[in-house]
Amino acid sequence: MPFDVRRFDIYRKVPKDLTQPTYTGAFISILCCVFILFLFLSELTGFIATEIVNELYVDDPDKDSGGKIDVSLNISLPNLHCDLVGLDIQDEMGRHEVGHIDNSMKIPLNQGDGCRFEGEFTINKVPGNFHVSTHSATAQPQNPDMTHTIHKLAFGEKLQVQKVQGAFNALGGADKLSSNPLASHDYILKIVPTVYEDLSGKQRFSYQYTVANKEYVAYSHTGRIIPAIWFRYDLSPITVKYTERRQPFYRFITTICAIVGGTFTVAGIIDSCIFTASEAWKKIQIGKMS
C-alpha cells in the first residue's frame, strides 16, 4: 500500500454541499474581519512606533568629556550697562576666573541702559558656582540693578526629542524684573547626568537640573551693597538614561497570529451557539404546531 502523506492533514476539508450558510454567520464573519483589521492596524502602528524606556543607575556616563560640562547661558539685565556685566567662575578644584569673556557676547538693551549676556563655557564636574555680577568692572557702580530675566541655562548637548520631557532648561523664562534691584539672587542647582540612546545605539549626553532660589541683600566688608546673580551647582551621582526601543518582529507576528486565531475561534463559538439555539427554537415551534 503506497504511503499517503495526506494522512497527516489535520485540516480536513468539508464538502461545500455539506455546509449551510446563514445570515447570522455572515453578519458575525463581517464583524470578525472588521475587528481583526482594527486590531491589526493597532498592532502595526505600535510596531512601527518607538517607545522610550528610562532607567536610573549610579555612574558617570560621559567619561570621555575630560571631567568637563558645557554650559549655555542667556540672561538679560535691562537696567545694567554692558560695561559693568561680567561672568565669574569658581569651583572646589581651585578655579577662580573673574570676567570670563571666551565665547561670550554682550548685546545692549534699552538704548544702552541694559544688557543681554550670552555665553558658552565649561565647568568642572565638581561643586562650584558661576555668577553674573559687576565684580570684573573697572569701577563699581553705586547702585547696580540686578533685576533680570533668564532666557536659557542648559548643560551639555541639546536633546531635541519630543517624547522626553525633562528639566533641561528649568530656569528658562525665570523673571525677576519686579524684585529688589539691589538684591542678590541665589539659584541652587542639582545637576543630573542624562543619556539618550537611539535605535542605532548612538548615545548623546546632556544634563537636567532641579533648582531652588532665594533672594537677599548682601553687603561687602566696606558696607557697600554689591549684588550678584549666583548659580551654585552640585552634581547628582544618579544618571538618567532614556533608550529608544521598538517591538521585536517575532513578538509582532506572535500577536497577529493570536489576534487572528483568537478572533476566529471566539466568533466560531458564538456562531455555533446562536445556530444551535436557533435550531432548538425551530424544533420547539414545530412541536407546538403539531
According to the model, what pLDDT value does residue 274 have? 83
Would you place residue 266 in the very low, low, confident or very high pLDDT band (cuts 50, 70, 90)? confident
Mean pLDDT of the chain: 86
Residue-wise burial string across 133-149, b where 16 or more C-beta atoms lie within 10 A, e elsewhere: bbeebeeeeeebbbbbb
Q: Which of 44-48, 141-145, 227-231 has the highest mean pLDDT?
A: 227-231
Q: Over 90: is that where the pLDDT of 201 sits?
A: no
Share of the chain above pLDDT 70, in %: 93
Q: Over 60: is that where the pLDDT of 290 sits?
A: no
CA-nearest of 46, 51, 67, 75 to 249 is 46
Would you place residue 1 in the very low, low, confident or very high pLDDT band (cuts 50, 70, 90)? low
Quote the DSSP letter at residue 82: T
Within 8 A by CB and 6+ apart from 78, the residues are 109, 110, 113, 114, 147, 148, 149, 177
Which three cell numbers, joined as nine digits, stand for 131? 555668577
- Write the single-letter amino acid at 68: K
DSSP strands (E only) in the chain: 51-58, 68-77, 86-91, 96-97, 104-109, 114-124, 128-133, 149-156, 174-175, 184-197, 203-216, 228-235, 238-245
Would you place residue 148 in the very low, low, confident or very high pLDDT band (cuts 50, 70, 90)? very high
Rounded (5°) CA angle 100-103-105: 85
Quote the DSSP letter at residue 219: B
CA distances from 203 to 6, 12, 157, 242 (A): 56, 55, 11, 10
Taking each helix axis from N to C end, the angle separating 249-289 and 23-48, rounded to the nearest 10 degrees, works out to 170
Residue written as grid cell 504511503: 3
Widest pairwise Cα distance in the chain? 119
Taking the C-alpha atoms of residue 211 and residue 188, their distance in angstroms, rounded to an integer, is 6
Residue-wise burial string across 153-191, b where 16 or more C-beta atoms lie within 10 A, e elsewhere: bbbbeebeeeebebebbbbeebebeeeebebbbbbbbeb
Strands 86-91 and 96-97: antiparallel
**Average pLDDT estimate for 152-160:** 88
- Give tens-digit pLDDT for 244-263: 888 888 888 998 899 888 88
Would you place residue 6 in the very low, low, confident or very high pLDDT band (cuts 50, 70, 90)? confident
Coil vs helix vs strand at 214: strand
Rounded (5°) CA angle 85-220-91: 65
- Give tens-digit pLDDT for 90-127: 999 999 999 888 899 999 999 989 999 999 999 999 99
Which three cell numbers, joined as nine digits, stand for 124? 568642572
Domains of the chain by residue range: 21-51+248-278, 59-237
According to the model, what pLDDT value does residue 57 have? 85
According to the model, what pLDDT value does residue 10 have? 66
**Average pLDDT estimate for 34-42:** 90
